[in-house]
Structure 1
Amino acid sequence: MSDINTMILVEHPLNEKMRTWLRIEYLLKQLLYQKNFKNIASTLTFFRAVSDLIDILERFEIRGDLLKKLEYQQQKLSSWLCAPNTDKDLIDSLITKLEACKNALVSAPRIRDCLKEDRLITSVRQRLSISGGGCSFDLPALHLWLHLPDEDQSQYIGNIIYTLKPLHHALMMILDFVRQSSSLEMVNSSNGFFKGNTEKGELLRLRIPLKNRLYPKISGNKNRYVIHFIPLEPEHSRSVDNFSFELACC
């Protein structure tokens, strides 16, 4: 059972680009967590995440947006080199890592095309929209694949993870910079609401006490936002009135 003193971390994007990046991060985590298959459920979770990732890569220019953000971070760090009392070695190291991410992303083949050309991924994608479409008679190729030796499955999954590596590294580095751009600070809600202003904010991060049994409904953009705290169960509505939580606008 969870400790009642646990703090729940919640993140909310303030623009469409960040929304897309967080969704990609979520899918990449599923791919990495499910890479050791133990049953058909974990296998379908993996392939469904791959399918969703393909859909996102088809709808948005992810590579170009990530390259622009990496370049922006490099320029920002370079401007700090002339500032007094800066750790120049650390900044040079970060600039080098950003450059490595850029080069890997530029030289990588089109990830979307690599995934779509895989016959097993294609066959599974065609059945994911069917209720119960993971049955062996719907996906005989996957049924056979599940009975292959572990080393064959590991090699196949390893190739997919390797294909996604440039995307994964670039995205995680960018999100790390964003998340570390602002520190969590204690603030107070009023009657279940909190309003704030920001200058070109990209991401809200909240740490909420589990004991309050509240979840946030957030609306906003790069300039302003509103957080409405809602009780999970009606009997806990009193805890909405006024309480403290931690907030960072990154």
Structure 2
Amino acid sequence: MILYEYPLNERIRTYLRLQHLFARFNKLTQRSDAIDHHYALTTIFEIMEVASRSELKSEILKDIERHKQMLNGYRGNPSISEKALDLIIEQLDQRFEALNTMAGKLGSALGESEFLNSIKSRSAIPGGTCEFDLPAYHAWQHHEPAARQANLFEWSQHFGPLANSIQLMLKMMRESGSTQKVMATAGQLQQNLPQGRNFQLLRLRIDDSLNLTPEISCNRLLVVIRLMQQQADGKLIASKDDTPFEMTLCA
């Protein structure tokens, strides 16, 4: 099964982009080749770009508070474990405190590094990080892998509270969803969203062997999913088959 996730607002779109970048960074830094560490560093630059939105920090803090209020509303419910509730609220408090104590824009301190700025500016140019353009960077790539990994870890810590907060927010959101089996009739599904609920994330699971790709469009009232068949040349054409798949709406 292939999992597809579709954000239903701009805030969740940003969360998913950042989570994607953090996952890529973590995978690249586990390797030892200089080329992997080059792409880990350019991933940091992408994270800096996405995290530079001035309102991002306040949005995450509001989101954490919203989840705390929701969870506190479950207190006294006999079907809810108070111990588990206290644990997750404690995690939310820790994320809030760590993020709230970060001064200025997220990752802004990295922008003061002359070494990183020189690489960042040249990375936007095709082939711009060649050895004759950035000899200091070329020398860094010849350091021992452990030394490069230590540098990358140090630079990434400027985004540690951000990564931890987003990971917890998305985990809670995904766990809030209820999965249903649905059918795309003649390759298409159109479904009204329940009123009175503010859904934020749509998740689909489709059998990989079907060779189908979903095209998703939605708003707060309606979800439309078209399943596309990929041809040998990569071209997508609309499927006409009745196809079952799993869909989850997360609030």
**TM-aligned CA deviation for residue 60 of structure 1:** 4.7
Secondary structure at the counterpart of residue 118 of structure 2 = helix
Aligned to 2:211: 213
| Structure 1 residue 18 corresponds to structure 2 residue 16 | no
> Is the counterpart of residue 141 in structure 1 residue 129 in structure 2?
no
Normalising to structure 2: TM-score of the pair? 0.90
**Aligned AA for 1:107?**
T
CA contact (8 A) 1:215 1:230 kept: yes
Does the CA-based 8 Å contact 1:193-1:226 persist in structure 2? yes
Residue 200 of structure 1 aligns to which amino acid in structure 2?
Answer: N
1:162 equivalent to 2:157? Answer yes
Cα separation, 2, equivalents of 1:120 and 1:61: 28
2:94 to 100, 110, 113: 100
Q: 1:203/1:52 Cα in 2 relative to 1: closer, same or farther (>3 Å)? A: same
Alignment root-mean-square deviation, CA: 2.0
Name the stretch that deviates more: 88-97 or 30-39: 30-39
Q: By how many angstroms is 1:161 displaced? A: 2.7
Deviates further, 218-227 or 75-84:
218-227
Pick which of 45-54 and 172-181 moved more.
45-54
* Structure 1 unmatched runs, 5+: 1-6
2:120 match: 125
Number of residue pairs the alignment of both structures matches: 244
Q: Structure 1 234/192 Cα, relative in aligned 2: closer, same or farther at 3 Å?
A: farther
Tell me how far 1:240 sits from its aligned partner.
Answer: 4.2
- The Cα of 1:107 is off from its aligned counterpart by 1.3
Of 44, 57, 60, which aligns to 1:50? 44
Report the 3-state secondary structure (helix = DSSP H, G, I; strand = E; otherwise coil) of the residue aligned with 1:204.
strand
Task: Tell me the residue number matched to 2:229.
Answer: 231
8 Å contact from structure 1 (residues 187, 247) kept in 2: yes
Distance 1:36 1:93 in 2: 30
1:184 counterpart SS class: strand
Give the aligned partner of residue 72 of structure 1.
Answer: 66
Does the CA-based 8 Å contact 2:107-2:158 persist in structure 1?
Answer: no
Q: Deviations over 1:86-132 (max 9, x none)?
A: 21110111111100110011113443212212233211111122112
CA distance in 1, matches of 2:130, 2:15: 32
Q: Distance in 1 between matches of 2:163 and 2:96?
A: 12
Asked whether the 8 Å contact 2:41–2:152 carries over to 1, the reply is: no
Matched AA of 2:9: N
User: Contact 1:214–1:240 (CA<8 Å) still a contact in 2?
Assistant: no
- Which one-letter code corresponds to 1:245 in the other structure? F
Tell me the distance in 2 between the aligned counterparts of 1:204 and 1:102: 26
Name the residue aligned to 2:107. 112
* Cα offsets for 1:62-83 (capped at 9, x unmatched): 1111100000000000000122
- SS of the aligned residue for 2:191 comes to strand
1:34 alignment partner, one of 28, 34, 47? 28
Pick one of 157, 165, 171 that aligns with 2:166: 171
Indicate if the aligned counterparts of 2:212 and 2:229 stay in contact, CA closer than 8 A. yes
Identity %: 28
In structure 1, what is the Cα distance between the partners aligned to 2:72 and 2:228? 43
Letter paired with 2:126 = S
In 1, distance between residues paired with 2:35 and 2:146?
20
1:44·1:134 contact (CA, 8 Å) conserved in 2? no
Determine the C-alpha separation between the residues in 2 that align with 1:234 and 1:144. 44
- Higher alpha-carbon deviation: 202-211 or 51-60: 51-60
